Amino acid sequence: MSRGAANAHRHGAQAQPPQAEIYRHLSRILGRRPTQFDLLEPQPDIAAALHLADCEARLDRAHAHYVKMQAVDRHREFDHLQDQLDDMVFFNWITDPFKREAAQRIMRLERYSAHYANYEKRLAGRYLREAQSKRDRALIEYMGYV
Amino acid sequence: MPDDANKFSRLPNPSRMLLADECPEHHDELLSEYYEDLKPVGVLERRQVELILRCDIDIDRQLRIIAHHLNPLQEIENRGAEMAAEWHRQALMHPNAIHDSDEEEVAPPEAQVLPVGDPRLTPLIASRYAQRRDLMSIHQRELTSAERRRRQAIEMLFKMQDRRRGREVPDAEVVDVKDV
């Protein structure tokens, strides 16, 4: 696994969901609170339920991220950079023509903001499709024990 | 809302899955109607119904977003160009004029109403589509994907319900041939 991919699994939309959320799904699936014994040495049906609960929690997280990204049309960090540059120019107008030209060119990089926002939007859709696919497989596996 | 909705399938905070222009109460009403219509039994079936509802909401959302982006009267935001234009405007202004311009209030632009069913808007909409082709392709893909997810979720729900009904059917009774 590359460093970037590992980072996405630790911190991003694909990160491990909180245990409380997995247990909440597990309690719903089993119809009771899981015991310590269930979790320490799970039988095949409990293991399948645990896997399904994990996939459900991941699906919820991926869906929440996907919904959040639908309203994003611009890259937040690029906007922040533009705002900072605007403040810098406003409070101290750059007299050096080369620096002024550089500032104006940065302002013209508008399309990159949309490009990265689209990239993140596309990625969120992919995460959702992957999470849904894993969850469906886990459900089919669990159905074999019910 | 069904009595057991809060116990099993419904998420504690459905607004996590909704945009600002989507109402959680409307989500709950729809969920209740879906429960009545599809009659799920058990946790897994109820969860499946909830996922079908999510897909339906997503399809509606994607269509709404596409329509919004194709609105020919909507101005395309270009913050960088606006900021650069403002720099030039202020650089050419007299210092006193800059001070006066800071004090005057800028009125918000009036909302433009889109005429319904006007075929003269078609070229403008096509032009807007060409300008936002990348974005349109993403939303159209998500729309197709949501429709596929919905179809699969319904299929899965029907399989689960068939399986449940099949389990309820009593085993065939072996009848002695001589008795017939």
Hey, is the C-beta of B80 within 8 angstroms of any chain A C-beta? yes
pLDDT band at B6 (very low <50, low <70, confident <90, very high): very low
Tokens of A69: 């990204």
Measured between CA atoms, the residue of chain B closest to residue A133 is B149
What pTM was computed for the model?
0.79
* pLDDT for residue B116: 74
Of A70, A110, A125, the CB nearest to B79: A110
Whether A73 has a pLDDT exceeding 80, the answer reads yes
Count up the domains in chain A and report the number: 1
CA–CA dist B45, B158 (Å, integer): 9
- The reply to whether residue A107 touches residue B84, judged by beta carbons under 8 angstroms, is yes
Of A60, A86, A128, the CB nearest to B11: A60
* pLDDT for residue A94: 65
* pLDDT for residue A92: 67
Q: CA torsion angle for A69, A72, A76, A82 (degrees, to 10)? A: 160
Q: Which of B79, B139, B84 is nearest to A78 (CA)?
A: B79
Q: Can you tell me the ipTM of this complex?
A: 0.82
- The reply to whether residue B54 touches residue A86, judged by beta carbons under 8 angstroms, is no
Size of interface A-B (CB pairs under 8 A): 78
Place of tokens 């399986």: B163
CA–CA dist A69, A127 (Å, integer): 12
Residue A119 belongs to domain spanning:
3-143
pLDDT band at B119 (very low <50, low <70, confident <90, very high): confident
- Torsions phi, psi of A3, nearest 5? -65, -40
CA–CA dist B167, A10 (Å, integer): 42
* pLDDT for residue B113: 67
- The reply to whether residue A82 touches residue B141, judged by beta carbons under 8 angstroms, is no
Mean pLDDT over all residues of chain B?
A: 82
Task: Calculate the alpha carbon distances from A106 to A50, A89, A115, B76, B139 in Å.
Answer: 50, 12, 15, 19, 28
Question: Where in chain B are the domains?
Answer: 3-74+135-169
- Rounded to the nearest 10 degrees, the angle between the axes of helix A110-143 and helix B133-168 is 10
Q: Which of A80, A50, A65 is nearest to A126 (CA)?
A: A65
Q: Which of A137, A134, A87, A139 is nearest to B43 (CA)?
A: A139
> Mutate which of A51, A75, A86 to disrupt the B interface (most B C-beta within 10 Å)?
A86
Q: Which of B58, B61, B66 is nearest to B129 (CA)?
A: B66
Report chain B residues whose CB lies below 8 A from the CB of A56: 47
- Rounded to the nearest 10 degrees, the angle between the axes of helix A19-30 and helix B42-69 is 130
